[in-house]
Chain A
Amino acid sequence: MELALLVLIGAPLVAGLLSLGARRRRWMEWLQCAHAAVLLAAMSVVVINVAEGSVITVGILLRADALSVFLDLMLAFVGATGLLYALGYMGEELTRGHVLHRRYNRFFCLFNLYLFAMLLAANVDNIALMWIAIEGSTLSAALLIGFEKTKAALEAGWKYIILSFVGIALALFGTVLVYYASEHVLGVSMEALRWEELYRVAPDLNPTALKLAFVFVLIGYGTKAGVAPMHTWLPDAHGEAPTPVSAMLSGLMLNLALYAVLRLKSIVDRTVGVDFTGPILLALGLLSVAIAAIFLLVQRDYKRLFAYSSIEHVGIALVGFGVGGPVGVFGGLFHMFNHALAKSTAFYAAGMVVLRRGHKTIERVTGLIRQMPLVGGSMLLAGLALAGMPPFGLFISEVLIATEAYGQRPWVAYVFLSLLAVAFATLLYQVSRMALGEPTEEDIPVTDRTRRFTTSALVVNLAAMGYAGTHMPGFLRDLFIPMTRLFGVMVEIP
């Protein structure tokens, strides 16, 4: 079990270093496919063990409980399909001569290091080391966003650097405040930073210090999660980054940042009760949904469209955690999971459109389903899922969150549902206008070699998305019970 956890975290690091030495494209393809397989295998072992009720610890540095493993599940699964997709996408860029072989290798090195930093952050048993790992993911993401070196990519990269570095600095201040409070109880030592110890002594910590810490951490990691009003870097970064990176940013990094906020919430709630963190999360969540719903309307660029949809979905999850209760917390977590699947599918499809049409303007893209049935179909299905249509998981979580909100404060449910209706209509309109109709533009053909990778990534993701929407896998159900217990509630899943 320990070994599986170490392999899961170590594989991306090893693969990242090896990929710098891949002299041929074929070597890179073998390397990354093996990497994806190892990720999936190690993740399955870890998930199955933790779902049976154990907590995996390695020394004093790593600890995988249900919440960490929930993140591992998303990181490894979407990471693996992301690797396949990136092989196709970047391979095509290589064939067309848009990137040189050295930069192709460097892309995969950064991409793997990015996965490594995120996996480490999710499993490290230490609030400060988690900060370091998240900062590491920020740094690698900055280089990935600016990878294409165009004016727009540079601008997006710069905005990302400035906003998220400041955000992450504030999160460090919050972390220092937690330490400041906990060393008062536990003494100046490593113990004062470990999750288990923090959970144990949480009721004795100074409430004011923890409240202050939560505010700093929320602003800090909230910036990385794209929570309004700190979201302004997000559409630019998602729009301008190479598409495999956009998919990872949206599907994985936002969830990782939410994970960090949730960890803190679960500690602060034990100290001061849910009445402090709940309303703050609820307010920011509603604001994010509102801003996203408005800006979805005016988008002309389909990658930015999906980026704003990510802000919306982060907001929905926050509303779930904000209203709290077993149903709200479960809804929020389930929402994160399904969003990771649906949004990465949407970006995989969007990336294929970028390759085959050569631009990102919504108005000029029509008739995708006729011209490229798989890509168009996946985009339409992912669009339906993201808009919140049944039979996809996002529908279930949105209904659950709305129900819980209605039970507590009806006005929250009214506001929430009206905003969702606006977002639903616009997203569906924009996506169906691209997918349906007559194609008006020439298709730029992609090589079969590219298609092999991108198609498998799309199909696997679509299958997982459909499966999770209609059926709750047993291991996932077993994970949800200890996860919700972390927030002081118990969920009952039929």
Chain B
Amino acid sequence: MGAIRPDIASQMVDLCSALLLLTCFAIVAQRRLSACVDLFALQSVFLAVTAALVAFLTGIHHIYIAALLTVIIKVIVIPRILKKVIERLNVTRELVLNVNIPSSLLICGALVILAFYITQPIISLGFLLTKDSLAIALAIVLIGFFTMIARKKAVTQVVGFLVIENGLFLGATAAAYGMPLIVELGVFFDVLVAGLIIGIFTHRLQDTFDSVDTSKLTELRE
């Protein structure tokens, strides 16, 4: 850990995780599709910084690789795919939401409290350095989940899914000091392929339904 005092180190990790959580709220409050994608890229930057910080403070070097992959895949490749998809769409803003923005923000606040409440009994298991990260990770997962429910456009649902992934990744690196390298590589590979498949499907939706509004997918009902 070198010259950095443990309490300061812990606060630095907390600060970075909190920034991740903050970008979640920004995504929930944003109607413009391309801005949502930018915010997701920003969140991934914070994620990479958190991972690099944990790698530096703990001396577990393979987390650097995870941080690097985060930058490549989640900051550069996936946002670029999503931007390409958005360029082809006939909408740039989401006008009708399932839940309006002020109530969404309130619900997300409640989700954060819920996440801290759920993880309270097991926080003591974790490492001192990253003790709040598990709660924040769960909060991000729940908010991502909520985003997928609250939005109708395929693109924002995808952003919600990616936010969930970021939360999981924060949980794995910060709270558990990273899974073994082979696991992390596998997870990244899966995320990348998932991103590609979602991209393919969004293209096909646009071509076939002339829209990416998922509320138009109503053929299969009981």
Contact = CB atoms under 8 A, between A and B. Distances in A.
Nearest to B193: A139
Interface in A204-224: 206, 208-209, 212
Contacts of B176: 176, 179-180, 183, 188
B66 interface: no
Contacts of A208: 121-122
B180 A189 contact: yes
Interface in A342-362: none
Contacts of A142: 197, 201
A129 B182 contact: yes
Given A132-B190, A206-B122, A162 B138 contact: no
Interface string B187-222: 101100110011011001100110000100101101
Contact of B197 (A151, A161, A188, A212): A161
* Interface of chain A: mostly helix, strand, loop or mixed: helix
Contact of B198 (A149, A161, A180): A161
A190 interface: yes
Interface stretch (A22-30, A166-174, A365-373): A166-174
B51 to A, nearest CB: 14
Contacts of B180: 128, 189-190, 193
Contact of A154 (B60, B126, B161, B204): B204
A72 to B, nearest CB: 21
Interface string A256-297: 000000000000000000000000000000000000000100
A47 B155 CA distance: 46
A173 B222 contact: no
Contact of B168 (A159, A172, A189): A172
A203 interface: no
B161 A139 contact: no
Nearest to B214: A158
Interface residues on B, range: 35 or more
Contacts of A172: 168, 172, 187
B154 interface: yes
A165 B171 CA distance: 17
A132 B205 CA distance: 27
A69 to B, nearest CB: 24
Contact of A193 (B134, B183, B200): B183
Contacts of B190: 132, 135-136, 139
Nearest to B60: A188
Interface in A27-79: none
A389 interface: no
A374 B120 CA distance: 60
A236 B209 CA distance: 18
A128 B179 contact: yes
A138 to B, nearest CB: 8
Contacts of B177: 183, 188
B156 to A, nearest CB: 12
Contacts of B186: 128-129, 132
A180 B197 contact: no
B222 A161 contact: no
B165 interface: yes
A151 B207 CA distance: 10
A221 to B, nearest CB: 15
Nearest to A240: B220
B113 interface: no
Contacts of B145: 166
A2 interface: no
Contacts of B209: 151, 154
Contacts of A126: 183
Contacts of B157: 162
A162 to B, nearest CB: 6
Given A154-B208, A166-B164, A180 B183 contact: no
B175 interface: yes
Contacts of B198: 161
B126 to A, nearest CB: 7
A209 B204 CA distance: 41
Given A154-B205, A159-B217, A180-B125, A132 B141 contact: no
Contacts of B171: 173, 176, 180
A491 interface: no
Contacts of A169: 141, 161, 164-165, 168
A143 B179 contact: no
A203 to B, nearest CB: 16
B130 to A, nearest CB: 11
A181 B126 CA distance: 8
Given A181-B125, A206-B122, A158 B217 contact: yes
Contact of A146 (B60, B125, B165, B204): B204
20 contacts: A128-B183, A128-B187, A129-B183, A132-B183, A135-B190, A139-B194, A142-B197, A143-B197, A152-B219, A154-B201, A158-B217, A159-B217, A162-B157, A166-B164, A169-B165, A173-B167, A176-B168, A193-B179, A193-B180, A209-B125
Interface of A: 126, 128-129, 131-132, 135-136, 139, 142-143, 146, 149, 151-152, 154-159, 161-162, 165-166, 169-170, 172-173, 176-177, 179-181, 183-184, 188-190, 193, 206, 208-209, 212, 235-236, 239-240, 295, 298
Given A158-B217, A169-B168, A179-B176, 17 more contacts: A139-B190, A139-B197, A142-B201, A143-B197, A151-B219, A154-B205, A161-B197, A162-B148, A166-B145, A166-B161, A166-B164, A172-B187, A173-B167, A173-B171, A176-B176, A189-B180, A208-B121
The 3 closest A-B pairs by CB, nearest first: A132-B186, A128-B183, A155-B217
